[in-house]
Amino acid sequence: MTKILAINAGSSSLKFQLLEMPAETVLTEGIVERIGFSDAKFKIEFGDEEIKVTEEVLDHTKAVDLVMNALVDNNIVASFDEIVGVGHRVVHGGEKFAKSVVITPEMLATIEELSDLAPLHNPANITGIKAFAEKLPHATAVAVFDTAFHQTMPEVSYLYPIKNELYKKYAIRKYGFHGTSHKFVSERAIELIDVPAEESKIITVHIGNGGSLAAVKGGKSIDTSMGFTPLAGIMMGTRSGDVDPAVIPYIMEKEGLDINGAMDVLNKQSGLLGISEKSSDMRDIEAGIAADEKMSKIAYDLFAKRIADYIGSYLVTLGGADAIVFTAGIGENGPEVRRIILEKLAFLGLTINHENNNTRGKEIEISGPDSKIKAFVIPTNEEIMIARDTFSFLG
């Protein structure tokens, strides 16, 4: 058995899972949050145990120390040498990476160059890669890109109808994100439907705090709702999704904001939070509706409409669909949201099994037996995908 770490490093957090491969058994998982602060929070779970610690963690190197020492101190591994692979989530692979790669100094330099396209994400991912390379120099390090799955999109999906010189000079195009999740749930859906994989047409709906849809034909992404950045597409927790770009200079002028201020409005003050004027969390929106708050209801309906509209668009892109798959925080745990979206598709002969739909957090078919299009909830598992790809590189 081979032990592999799956790592998701953010600017102030480090999420980890230790898996035994190829069995895909999760030995332990946890998170370090508030990296950079004197009261960082560290949590690790293994078996029935959970340890929580608050202590100073000023950088990612210290966070990695904390994680690695906890693995040895709690006898989860006997020594660091037992961990032979470390898979890292990397948000942006640009046009350079259509699949996962072993991280060599050259690859790392390329990932660093791509920070230009993802200034909030790639630098944090790189910090995690470097911190683990120091601690586990013997382990094979692998980068798994959020954008890679969508590199199969054709030009008519990824090009924006803007001056082509901008694409040629700066690679301004649609990249798409959440690729690891769209890949995982679409692969699983293909196993669940009675259609040959190469003919399959799946629409994947990843809705959590961030959200995106993908049109997956024959196992390949042919379109997705996020774009050049993760701001595009459907309405999200705090992100607007698609708006007329001319809104940006108008907001700047009227509110006296610079470009960062205007982007902050669209990235952090919009979406469910912006419309409800209350919260970005779907649970709070549902509580608001129960309390008869008008703007919570409008936020909810707008959220569902924008997702249903994208599904409609992808039904055209795919020429129909065998299955629609819901995943991530809201997709897995929001029966009401799923119901409202799926009811908009009743005219296509899609029916709902309401009893099955009334469940949370587990894989289940939620369409009725007579439904023309199947619908599923499939919990996503990006860590398993990271571990699988990492394992594939270990001779």
Which residues are catalytic, by number? 146
Q: Which is nearer to ligand AMP, 131 or 328 (CB)?
A: 328
345, 311 Cβ separation under 8 angstroms: yes
| Span 139-198, contacts to ligand AMP by CB under 6 A | none
202, 224 Cβ separation under 8 angstroms: no
Q: Site for ligand AMP (CB under 6 A): which residue of 57, 231, 234, 328?
A: 328
Which region among 195-203, 239-247, 279-287, 307-315 touches ligand AMP (by CB under 6 A)?
A: 279-287
Q: How far is the CB of 299 from ligand AMP (least distance, A)?
A: 12
CA distance 255 to 167: 31
Per CB under 6 A, 282 contacts ligand AMP: yes
The residue ranges of DSSP E strands in the chain, in sequence order, are 2-9, 13-21, 25-33, 37-46, 49-57, 83-90, 101-102, 140-145, 201-207, 211-217, 220-224, 323-327, 364-365, 374-377
Q: How far is the CB of 31 from ligand AMP (least distance, A)?
A: 12
- DSSP state, 352? B
Is the Cα dihedral 241, 242, 245, 248 positive or negative? Answer: negative
Q: How far is the CB of 335 from ligand AMP (least distance, A)?
A: 8
Per CB under 6 A, 10 contacts ligand AMP: no
Which region among 227-235, 302-310, 329-337, 364-372 touches ligand AMP (by CB under 6 A)?
A: 329-337
Q: Which is nearer to ligand AMP, 253 or 301 (CB)?
A: 301
HEC string of 298-325? HHHHHHHHHHHHHHHHHHHHHCCCCEEE
Q: How far is the CB of 223 from ligand AMP (least distance, A)?
A: 22
In order, the DSSP letters of 42-66 are: EEEEETTEEEEEEEEE-SHHHHHHH
Q: Which is nearer to ligand AMP, 181 or 351 (CB)?
A: 181
CA distance 395 to 386: 16
Per CB under 6 A, 208 contacts ligand AMP: yes
Q: Which is nearer to ligand AMP, 20 or 45 (CB)?
A: 45
Which region among 12-20, 142-150, 322-330, 384-392 touches ligand AMP (by CB under 6 A)?
A: 322-330
Q: Which amino acid is present at 117?
A: L
Per CB under 6 A, 237 contacts ligand AMP: yes
Q: How far is the CB of 156 from ligand AMP (least distance, A)?
A: 30
Per CB under 6 A, 356 contacts ligand AMP: no
91, 148 Cβ separation under 8 angstroms: no
Per CB under 6 A, 362 contacts ligand AMP: no
Per CB under 6 A, 334 contacts ligand AMP: yes
Per CB under 6 A, 213 contacts ligand AMP: no
Q: How far is the CB of 351 from ligand AMP (least distance, A)?
A: 23
CA distance 296 to 20: 44
Q: How far is the CB of 13 from ligand AMP (least distance, A)?
A: 13
Per CB under 6 A, 233 contacts ligand AMP: no
CA distance 214 to 224: 4
Q: Site for ligand AMP (CB under 6 A): which residue of 330, 341, 352, 364?
A: 330
Interacting residues of 203 by C-beta distance below 8 A, sequence separation 6+: 213, 214, 215, 216, 311, 314, 315, 318, 321, 323, 324, 325
Order the strands of the 323-327 sheet from edge to edge. 220-224, 211-217, 201-207, 323-327, 374-377, 364-365
The residue behind tokens 């690695």 is: 68
Is the Cα dihedral 103, 106, 107, 111 positive or negative? Answer: positive
Q: How far is the CB of 177 from ligand AMP (least distance, A)?
A: 12
Per CB under 6 A, 359 contacts ligand AMP: no
User: Which residues, listed in sequence order, are joined to residue 43 by a DSSP beta bridge?
Assistant: 31, 52
Q: Site for ligand AMP (CB under 6 A): which residue of 10, 93, 128, 329?
A: 329
Per CB under 6 A, 333 contacts ligand AMP: yes
Q: If we measure between CA atoms, which residue out of 126, 232, 102, 136 comes closest to residue 177?
A: 232
Q: Which is nearer to ligand AMP, 15 or 217 (CB)?
A: 15
Which region among 21-29, 41-49, 196-204, 324-332 touches ligand AMP (by CB under 6 A)?
A: 324-332
**Residue ranges binding ligand AMP (CB under 6 A):** 208-209, 237, 281-283, 328-330, 333-334, 360
